[in-house]
Amino acid sequence: MIKRVAAVLFALMLSGCVDETSPVADASMDDAAAQAALVEDGLAVAEANCASCHAIGATGESSNRKAPIFRALLARYSANALETELAEGIRVAHAPMPQFQFKPEAAVALVAYLRTVQTRDPGQALAEQRCARCHAVGREGTSPYPGAQPFRNLGKRWWRGQLRDALRTGIIVEHDRADVRPPPMKLSDAEIDVFLAYLTTIATPSNPAPKAP
């Protein structure tokens, strides 16, 4: 009986060492190192091919105002679909971006990097990218352009459904100076969803978010 108990205890002691000595632990460490290397490769791809126009990090604005910031990109595109498009040859609307076609391993690395810089609030990133040049996009502050409505006040002017329809069609912004008049603000359904969700996060009792319908 004593020998049997001792054998059980010895087996338990051995099992406690699994995390440090087992092939499973080594594989986990290898996977983490491989993922870190993949992300680093993706950053190198972004710096070489994208940084001249896009904000590729967790902060900052794109030098080309039409170029989406990377930290909000996966709010607009499926990661899997983007990886496929990068490998097959992607063409986007903003100039002067050429048609890019990455090797499959470069596409995988770039998407792996993109995943690491996504903001927790893609709606905020979208507002910062597309609107902050003219509008105050947070709970407080003055709009950089005097004629631009602070986003915290949108609930006083728009019903939720009206704002959704307007953003889907393209809001034509009326300013009194042609040099600061932006093009129609047209968003995809996915962008509208995250934008409306963001307006809810900055709402206050005195400045509620747009209400249904």
Q: Is residue 31 part of a domain?
A: yes
Which of left, alpha, beta for 207 (phi over 0: left; psi -120 to 50: alpha)?
beta
- The pLDDT, as a whole number, for residue 2 is 44
Per-residue model confidence as pLDDT tens digits over 28-71 = 778 889 999 999 999 999 999 999 989 999 887 788 877 888 98
Q: Is residue 9 part of a domain?
A: no
- The pLDDT, as a whole number, for residue 5 is 39
The CATH number of the domain holding residue 168 is 1.10.760
pTM of the model: 0.54
Rounded Cα gap, residues 142 and 153, in angstroms: 12
- Write down which residue in 63, 95, 119 finishes a domain: 119
Neighbours of 154 (CB within 10 A): 21
Q: Which residue has the higher pLDDT, 10 or 158?
A: 158
The CATH number of the domain holding residue 65 is 1.10.760.10
Per-residue model confidence as pLDDT tens digits over 148-158 = 889 999 999 99
- The pLDDT, as a whole number, for residue 11 is 41
Per-residue model confidence as pLDDT tens digits over 156-192 = 999 999 999 999 988 765 544 545 555 667 888 888 9
State yes or no: pLDDT of 143 exceeds 80. yes
Beta bridge partners of 100: 90
* Same domain assignment for residues 28 and 115: yes
Q: What is the average pLDDT score of the chain?
A: 80
- Write down which residue in 119, 137, 156 finishes a domain: 119
* Same domain assignment for residues 139 and 99: no
pLDDT band of residue 81 (cuts 50, 70, 90) is: confident
The tally of domains found in the chain comes to: 2
The domain of 80 spans 23-119
Under a CB-based contact definition with an 8 Å cutoff, are residues 90 and 104 in contact? no
- The pLDDT, as a whole number, for residue 6 is 43
Q: Is residue 171 part of a domain?
A: yes
Supply the DSSP symbol for 153: G
Mean pLDDT value of segment 74-100? 74
| Percent of the residues in the chain that have a pLDDT greater than 70, as a whole number | 76
- The pLDDT, as a whole number, for residue 63 is 85
